[in-house]
Amino acid sequence: MAESVVELPSRLAILPFRNKVLLPGAIIRIRCTSPSSVKLVEQELWQKEEKGLIGILPVRDADESKPLGSAISQGGTDSLDQSSKVQGGSLDSNKLDTKKQNDVVHWHARGVAARALHLSRGVEKPSGRVTYIVVLEGLCRFSVQELSTRGTYHTARISSLELTKTEMELVEQDQDFITLSRQFKATAMELISVLELKQKTGGRTKVLLETVPVHKLADIFAASFEISFEEQLSMLDAVDPKVRLSKATELVDRHLQSIRVAEKITQKVEGQLSKSQKEFLLRQQMRAIKEELGDNDDDEDDLVALERKMESAGMPQNVSKLAHRELRRLKKMQPQQPGYNSSRVYLELLADLPWQKASEEIELDLRAARERLDSDHYGLVKVKQRIIEYLAVRKLKPDAKGPVLCFVGPPGVGKTSLASSIASALGRKFVRISLGGVKDEADIRGHRRTYVGSMPGRLIDGLKKVAVCNPVMLLDEVDKTGSDVRGDPASALLEVLDPEQNKTFNDHYLNVPFDLSKVVFVATANRMQPISPPLLDRMEVIELPGYTPEEKLQIAMRHLIPRVLDQHGLSSEFLQIPEGMVKLVIQRYTREAGVRNLERNLAALARAAAVRVAEQEHVVPLNKGVQGLAAPLLENRLADSTEVEMEVIPMSDNSQEISNTFRVASPLVVDEAMLEKVLGAPRFDDREASERVASPGVTVGLVWTAFGGEVQFVEATAMAGKGELHLTGQLGDVIKESAQIALTWVRARAADLNLAAAERVNLLEDRDVHIHFPAGGVPKDGPSAGVTLVTTLVSLFSQKRVRSDTAMTGEMTLRGLVLPVGGVKDKILAAHRYGIKRVILPERNLKDLAEVPSSVLANLEILLAKKIEDVLEHAFDGGSPWRQHSKL
C-alpha cells in the first residue's frame, strides 16, 4: 500500500455487492457463479494480460433499504457467492439470491475500485458451468456519474473521490486532523495491546500503524470489525479524512470498550464463583429459560421421579432416612461432578430393591404341588417329600422361615431344574446365581462404594432383577468356590445362609441391612468334601445319587423324548423310539448317574430322523393354495403315490397363512441297526467284567466320584525282583497306604491262607508285586479299596480267579476288620448299571441300603462282611478253597 494516488480510468466494469461493502485496504475473496459476474470477470480480468481494475458497488433490495444519500435505481443485478478476507482474517457471507430482471434494487452512488490479487477458473460437474474465484483488494473510492450495461454486466462512468497528493499534504497540516490522528493511533494501539494479551497476536498490526498512512488505516480497521451495513455505507461515504478518522476512532473505541466490559465481567465472576458455582448459575438460568419456553424436561424431573420412586419403595425407616440424606446431597451437585453418577446409581438401586414387595401367595394346595413336582421330575421321592413338608408348614404357619436346602449329586441328575420346579410349586419367582469359579468375596457382599466401578453383590443384584423379596434363589455349584487374597466367598455365604443372621444381611455397596429371611435358598453341589464344615452345617443336605436304569427309561419316555422331538421340529408322526431301543441306549451307550449323555444320544437319533424327513421324496407341503385344488386332482395325486397323505385345509378370508407342514405316511421307527448306524458300535458290554477277571490277580471294586459311583478294576502281577511293591494309576497317598496295609496283612496271614508252606516263608522273596488301577489318566484316592486290594493279592498268590459277577468295597484295618465307607447308594447303582450280580459291603453299611431303590436290590445279592475272611469267603467260587486247611 503506497501513498501514491491510484490513477482510475473514466469507466469501470461494475460488480455489485448485495448488502456488503468493500472498503479501501480490505481484501475479499469472492466466488462468481452467475452468468453476469462470470462474464465480467472473464472479459475484464481473465482475458487481459495485465490485471485490470473493476468497481465494487454496494446494492440492496428496495424492500429492505432506505437509500442513504444519493442512490441509483436500476433493474436487477447479478448474484454471486462470496466470502471476504480482511487482512488475514476470513469472513463467509451468505449466498446471494438471484434476482429477476424486473426486481428493483438500489445502487449506492459511491463505490470502491478494486484490483485482482488472485484469479482461478473452475468448471462445475456435471453441469459444466464455469465459475471464477477472485481475491480482490480495495484501492480507492469513486462516485458513479452514469450507469449503463455492456452485454450481461454493468459499467459506469466514474470520478475519483481520493484527494490528490497536494490536497492530502494540506490536510495533514490541519491541527484538527493531527489531533484526530493521534487520538486514533492511541486508541488503536491500546486495542492492539489488549488483543495481544488475549490472543498473543498483534505484531503485524503494529507494523501497519507505523508504515500505513493514518487515513488508510481508518478504512482497514473499520473493515476488520463486524459492523452493520448502514455503518459500512457511512464509512464508505466518509470522503473527508477527518470525518473518516472520527468514525474509525469511534468504532475502535467502541470495540475496545466492549472488550474491557467483557474482561471486567469475567474477572468479577471468576473472583466470586468457582467453576461448579458458575455452572450452577448458568444451569439455573437455563432452567429458567426452559420454564419460560415450556420445555422443562431435564434432570430435575428425573430427580423428582426418583424421589417419588423412593417414597413408594417401602424402605425401612433407617434406610429411608439415609436415602433422603443422599438425595439432598445429590440435588446440590451438578451432573459433571465426579460423584454425581455413582450417587445417583446408588439411589436408583435403593429405590429398585424389593424391600417389602413379595410374590403373591397362592393357595397352598399340597395335592396340586405334588402333581406339579411329579410332572416335572420322575422319582426323587425324598426331595419331593421335603418340599411338600415345607408347604404344609407354610400352610399352618405362613410366616415360617424358608429352608436352606443343598442338593448334592453327580451332574445330570436334575439338581438345577429341581430348584426351578420348587419355585413353580411355590408360585414364586426364580433367580439363579452361579458360584462356580467365584474367588472374590465382593461377588457375594458387593464392592464398597469408595472403589471405582463398584457394584452390589450377586444376591442383591438378583433380587433387583426379580423385584420380589421372597424368590427361590439357587446358589449353583456352591462346592466350586475358591479363595485367594480377595477373600473367601464361602465364608461370606455363612451370613447369607444363616436364618438368624440373614435378616440383616449387609451388602458392602448398600451399606444398609437388607432382609433375606424370606428367600428360599437352594444350593447345589457335586461333592460335599470341598464345602467348609460351618457352611455345610447351615444347609440341609439332600443327596441325589443318580438314577437306576428303570428310572432313566421312564425319564426318557416321559420327558427326554418329547423334549428332543420338539427341539428338532419333529413329532411322533416322524420318529418313534420304542422302549426296547431306549433300554439298549442306556445299557450300551451310556453309563452315568444322570441323563445328559442319554439325552445327547436321543438327540443324535432325532437329527438323523430330521435329515430323513427333510430329504424325503414323497413329502407334500401343505400351503394355503391347497384349497384351490379340485377334488379329482387330489384323488389322482393320492392314486399316483399311496405313501403320501394329504389333507385339504379350509381357510377363511381372515385366516393366517399356514407355513409349510410336512406329513409322511410312515414314521421312522428306531431299531438296533439304526442305533449302530447313528451312534456307532456299543461303548459298553456286559461281558467286560467276566473277560477282565478271567485270570487270577484281578478284582472288581466300587468307587465313588463326583460323577456318581463307578466300577474300578484292580490288577496285580508278580515278577522277579527284590520284594518291592509297585503302584501305578495316579494314586493318592491314602490309597497307597491301603495297598501297603493289604500287602502286610496278606504276608502276615500267608501260612494261614495256605499261600506259603511255612510261617517263616517270605511271599516276596526274590519277586516284586505290581498293583495297577486302570484308567491311569484319572486320579484316584480314598480308603475304600482296602478289601479289593487284599482280594487281588490273595488271588494273585493263590492263582485262584475271583468271581466276575462280584464287586466289593470297604476299608480294612491292619488286623483285618472291615470298616464302613461312604457313597454306598452310588456304588450299588454303579454295580447295577454295570451288570454286577453280587456286591460285598461292610456289615456296618447295612443301614445305607434303605436308600437304595427296591428294584435295584431285587436284582442284586448283597453280601455283608465284618472281617477280611468274610470277604474272601464270598469273593471266590465255592468259598475259600483253602478253608479246610486254614487255621482261620
Nearest to 261, CA basis, from 187, 189, 194: 194
Average pLDDT over residues 851-855: 84
DSSP 8-state assignment for residue 730: S
32 or 103, higher pLDDT: 32
pLDDT confidence of residue 841 = 94
Torsion of CA 673, 676, 679, 680, to 10 degrees: -160
pLDDT one-digit tens code per residue, 198-209: 665 555 666 666
pLDDT one-digit tens code per residue, 305-321: 888 888 888 888 888 88
Is pLDDT of 327 > 80?
A: yes
Burial class (CB in 10 A: 0-12, 13-18, 19+), 83: middle
Q: DSSP for 651-708?
A: --TTPPPPPP----SS-EE--HHHHHHHH-S-S--TTHHHHHTSSTTEEEEEEEETTE
pLDDT one-digit tens code per residue, 69-126: 445 544 433 433 333 333 333 323 333 333 444 456 678 888 899 888 888 888 887 7
pLDDT confidence of residue 865 = 93
Confidence grade of residue 863 (pLDDT, cut at 50, 70, 90): very high
pLDDT one-digit tens code per residue, 765-800: 888 999 999 877 778 888 889 999 999 999 988 888
pLDDT one-digit tens code per residue, 493-503: 888 888 888 88
Residue numbers annotated as active site: 784, 827
SS3 call for 414: coil
Q: What is the largest CA-CA distance in the chain?
A: 157
Average pLDDT over residues 741-755: 86
694 or 316, higher pLDDT: 316
* Lowest-confidence region among 57-71, 643-657, 723-737: 643-657
Average pLDDT over residues 309-336: 84
pLDDT confidence of residue 772 = 92
pLDDT one-digit tens code per residue, 428-462: 899 999 888 888 888 888 888 888 878 888 889 99
Average pLDDT over residues 873-884: 71
Nearest to 121, CA basis, from 32, 5, 21: 32
Average pLDDT over residues 236-243: 82
CA–CA distance, 143 with 714 (Å, rounded to integer): 122
pLDDT confidence of residue 199 = 65
Burial class (CB in 10 A: 0-12, 13-18, 19+), 23: buried
Task: Give the E-state strand segments of 322-438 in sequence order.
Answer: 404-408, 430-434
pLDDT confidence of residue 888 = 44
CA–CA distance, 743 with 766 (Å, rounded to integer): 16
CA–CA distance, 849 with 545 (Å, rounded to integer): 13
pLDDT confidence of residue 295 = 58
Is pLDDT of 559 > 80?
A: yes
Nearest to 519, CA basis, from 466, 476, 567, 556: 466
pLDDT confidence of residue 687 = 64
pLDDT one-digit tens code per residue, 635-682: 443 344 333 333 333 433 433 333 344 555 578 888 988 999 999 888
Is pLDDT of 2 > 70?
A: no
pLDDT one-digit tens code per residue, 273-308: 566 666 777 777 877 776 777 655 555 567 888 888
Average pLDDT over residues 511-531: 88
pLDDT confidence of residue 786 = 92
pLDDT one-digit tens code per residue, 384-438: 888 888 888 888 887 777 778 899 888 888 888 888 888 888 888 999 998 888 8
Is pLDDT of 602 > 90?
A: yes
pLDDT one-digit tens code per residue, 121-140: 888 877 778 888 888 888 88
Is pLDDT of 756 > 80?
A: no
pLDDT one-digit tens code per residue, 247-264: 888 888 888 888 888 888
pLDDT confidence of residue 334 = 76
Percent of the chain with pLDDT over 70: 82
pLDDT one-digit tens code per residue, 817-837: 999 998 898 899 888 888 889
DSSP 8-state assignment for residue 558: I
pLDDT confidence of residue 754 = 80
Confidence grade of residue 760 (pLDDT, cut at 50, 70, 90): low
Nearest to 709, CA basis, from 859, 832, 838, 829: 829
In whole numbers, what is the pLDDT of the chain averaged over residues?
Answer: 79
Q: What is the identity of the amino acid at 445?
A: R
19 or 77, higher pLDDT: 19
Q: What is the identity of the amino acid at 646?
A: M
Confidence grade of residue 566 (pLDDT, cut at 50, 70, 90): very high
pLDDT confidence of residue 688 = 65
Average pLDDT over residues 619-632: 40
Is pLDDT of 464 > 70?
A: yes
Which grid cell sits at 695?
485270570
